[in-house]
Amino acid sequence: MSKHSEAFKRSVVEFYQTGERGAREVGRHFGVDHATVRKWAASYAAHGPLGLAKKFSHYDAAFKLSVLQRMWEDGLSYRQTAALFDIRNKSSLVDWERRYKTGGIDALSPRRKGRPRSMPEPQKQPDASRSDDKKSREELLAELTYLRMENAYLKKLDALTLEQAALKKRKSSKR
């Protein structure tokens, strides 16, 4: 949920647009930052009531590049460009510009969110559904070795559990 409702934003913008007070005074009066007052006023002037509505947007690289080119061609500020294209956070434009200058159009494509994976992707297990006659001699020998090791491990585990049970039985009978 947004910190401020659309009705509150509209009342701030309308009060500011009367022209009787500056953005600092209006901001102090309503308890918001003067830059926020100017941002809401610019967004409202460019897009009407929809400019104050909550917006969730993800932009592709082509759109980001077109916004940057328009900003550079027309000599617009970040705030003016954000208001013109209804981009809620003008600092996104700073980030887009920096990434474009360092990495070109590829750097503008959307990035994955969240923490990067620390573990590598798991290796695919050999296809067990393949029939034995389609496997090579090396694959069959590797599978045979694996199964022998697994069998030996299970036998050892069974012997250890039986030994543990016998120890418990002896301890309980001594008492």
Q: pLDDT per residue over 49-101, tens digit each?
A: 877 877 767 888 888 999 999 999 999 999 888 888 888 788 889 999 999 99
Query: What pLDDT, in 10s, does the model give residues 90-137?
Result: 888 999 999 999 988 888 887 777 787 777 777 776 666 677 788 889
**CB-based contacts of 43: which residues, under 8 Å, 6+ apart?**
51, 52, 83, 86, 88
Strands (E), 9-119: none
Could you identify the residue written with the tokens 């003016």? 80
Give me the amino acid identity at 90: K
175 token code pair: 């008492």
Q: Which amino acid is at 168?
A: K
